[in-house]
Structures are given as C-alpha cells and as structure tokens.
Amino acid sequence: MEIILKKDVQNLGYADDIVKVKNGYARNYLIPQGFAIPATEPNRKMLAETIKQRAFKAEKIRKEAEFLAGKIEGLSVRIAAKASEKGTIFGSVTNIAVAQALKEQHDIEIDRHQIMLNDDHIKELGNYTAQVNLHKDFKVTLNLEVVAEE
C-alpha cells in the first residue's frame, strides 16, 4: 500500500514522502496514529499543492531576508552602557540590547534570537562584531560600538 507521510517516521521516510509499506502496518499503525494518509489521487493532488505553496512561502521569506541583509551589511550600532572609569560595564551587553539599539537607531526590527554575539556577553567598552542570522543562506556582520553612558 502506498501512503503519504504526514510526519517523519524513523527508518521509513520524512514528512510529505510517498512510500510503499505493508497493508497492515499502514492500516493498523501509521494511519490511526496520524503519521500517514493513504496515497489516493485526491491526496496526491493535495500534497502537490501543499508543496507548491510551501515553496512559494519559502521563496518569499528568502527574498525578505536578502533585502534585510542588504540593509544591515556594514551598519554600525552604538550602544550606551553604564561603565566604570576603567572601562568595565556594570552588567553586560547582550543580544537583547543589540536588537533594541538596531530598532531605535536604524528602524530595523530583528528577533533577538537571530543575533549571535562573538562573545556571550560584552563586559567592556570598545568595538565588537555580531553575526545576524537572517536565513540559512544569509548571515551578515553587524559592527557594535559600546560607549560609556553620559
């Protein structure tokens, strides 16, 4: 019996794959558990449409990431932090502060989880870089300038 997998099944296939299995395995386990549906003609057409729509959405997300990468590449963000006379910061600068500064200074909204600091936390004044992961194909470098608050 041919089935269309709805979820990844170990040693069988991945979601949206059409695989051939024994009738009992499909009827007694895969279909009742919601792992698969029968590969009838209407279900095959629905799968083709779903794959087409998913590809369209993925291309749209990729284009948005490419546009944002062009805007962010080479930008410099200035972050003010309370610091001692020696240049150490009270607290630290994290990806949350970088995301807020990017929104305030350049009006670009990036999720904080997409920003990876080269160091986990920045604890001293100076110039740093951060990597912004917009998409699996687009990773850009952002320059950070950490200055003392006045």
Query: 47: domain range?
Result: 2-62
Q: Are 5 and 13 in contact (CB under 8 A)?
A: yes
d(CA 15, CA 1): 17
> What total number of domains does the chain contain?
2
Task: Say yes or no: 15 and 57 in one domain.
Answer: yes
Task: Say yes or no: 106 and 144 in one domain.
Answer: yes
Q: What is the pLDDT of residue 33?
A: 95
Task: Say yes or no: 55 and 84 in one domain.
Answer: no
Task: Say yes or no: 44 and 91 in one domain.
Answer: no
Cβ count near 118 (within 10 Å): 11
Task: Say yes or no: 119 and 86 in one domain.
Answer: yes
pTM of the model: 0.66
Q: What is the pLDDT of residue 77?
A: 92
Task: Say yes or no: 47 and 75 in one domain.
Answer: no
Q: What is the pLDDT of residue 12?
A: 92
Q: Are 116 and 94 in contact (CB under 8 A)?
A: no
Task: Say yes or no: 91 and 132 in one domain.
Answer: yes
- pLDDT tens per residue, range 78-136: 999 888 888 888 888 888 999 999 999 989 899 988 898 887 778 889 899 999 988 88
Task: Say yes or no: 76 and 141 in one domain.
Answer: yes
Domain boundary among 35, 62, 89: 62
In 3-state terms, what secondary structure has residue 131? strand
Task: Say yes or no: 73 and 144 in one domain.
Answer: yes
Report the C-alpha dihedral over residues 51, 55, 58, 60, rounded to 10 degrees: -130
**45 vs 137, residue with greater confidence:** 45
Band (40; pLDDT cuts 50, 70, 90): very high
If we measure between CA atoms, which residue out of 147, 135, 120, 5 comes closest to residue 70?
Answer: 135
Task: Say yes or no: 128 and 110 in one domain.
Answer: yes
d(CA 70, CA 106): 13
